[in-house]
Amino acid sequence: MAYGKVWPAHPKPFPDELLSSWIVRVAQANAIKLQTLSWMLFGNERSPWNRDIDRSAPPWLIKELAHHTGANYWDVFHTTLATYRQRLYPRRRLSGQLPWILTIHSYGMRRRGHGQLLCPQCLATDQVPYFRKQWRLALFTYCPIHQVRMVDSCPNCGASVMHYRGDFGRTIQEAKPMHVCHGCGYDYAGMEGEKAEFFSEEIHQLFDDMVISLSGPMNRAEKFDLGFFSVLHQLCSILVSLNNRGRLEQFICRRLGTQFEPRLRVRLPIEGYALDDRHHLLQYGLWLMGSLASRIGEAWASKAVRYHHLLKDFEGAPTDYRTLVQKFSNWRKACAH
């Protein structure tokens, strides 16, 4: 594979394919190890695997890949998480927590976090297994297609999902495919999916509609726009807030008729919570979103949430949300109505 030419094999990205997944497939199609491909083109000082390339792929990397695969620059760009800007978050940042984007906690070429998800049934039904962009979103606690719980670690050895490490320390002949654990060889595609559970059919339907909306163009998202996701994020932030002390969660559990289970309160964003906790918290937030004005008003009247928490650290809050919250700024006046 000579530098400066289109590689002999140059598969194009699949629908919603993640950049790292596509690069792995390109290397495999050309019968070359992923590390060799990276070092040959980019050198040790610019290795793409010691960072979260799916979130912050530099322009030079996108240009090189487009050049050597014959792909359009923007087709390559759209395999990155940057395409969720103005859909899930307002501004792109190269560091720090981005709303709804899971963190992988890179350490060299390894990952210490569980920010890469997968659906075992999607992998099992793929003609060529690959990883989706949606599988890096905190919103995807389950697969809306197969209605099974997402997987964020190997059930056999507990390792984080690292689909790009299949040939690290191995020959091409010994390389593990993306659908198996890089450590122990457990086959994710052979897993029996665990059915996702929901507190109510109302929540289930809204959850389905929300995550499915992320599969289509932004201009067809209708109500699931940046404003919707920013308000949902704020509500989830209140639910996990140390200051709220679980009061809002207890209120919602009472209204849903479910058991409130106290959780360890830690200073983490919603994206930092374990998969099961995040699935529950998102359902609580979606229940509020289902009838926002009345349910927030009831929660406020029950002292499950305070006025100042509803806008705390909420830069760029949508106008309609800010107008709604202003109704609760004066306790006596609001109660009089």
Amino acid at 1: M
Amino acid at 247: R
Distance between CA atoms of residues 194 and 2, nearest Å: 46
Distance between CA atoms of residues 318 and 316, nearest Å: 6
Distance between CA atoms of residues 237 and 231, nearest Å: 10
Residue ranges with strand state E in the chain: 106-107, 110-111, 142-143, 148-149
Distance between CA atoms of residues 305 and 296, nearest Å: 8
Kindly list the domain boundaries of the chain, sorted by start residue: 19-190, 201-336
This prediction's pTM = 0.92
One pLDDT digit (tens) per residue for the chain, 337 residues: 444 588 889 899 999 999 999 999 998 888 888 877 777 767 666 666 777 889 988 898 899 899 999 999 999 999 999 999 999 999 877 677 899 999 987 544 555 678 999 999 999 999 999 999 999 999 999 999 999 999 999 999 999 999 887 766 566 666 788 999 988 999 999 999 999 999 999 999 999 999 999 986 655 557 899 999 999 999 999 999 999 999 999 999 999 999 998 877 788 999 999 999 999 999 999 999 999 999 999 999 999 999 999 999 998 899 999 999 999 986 544 454 4
The H-assigned helical ranges of the chain are 19-29, 34-42, 53-56, 59-69, 73-77, 120-125, 201-213, 226-239, 247-256, 275-290, 292-301, 307-311, 319-326, 331-336
Q: Determine if residue 222 is left, alpha or beta; phi over 0 gives left, psi from -120 to 50 gives alpha, anything else beta.
A: left
Q: Please say whether the beta carbons of 137 and 184 come within 8 A.
A: no
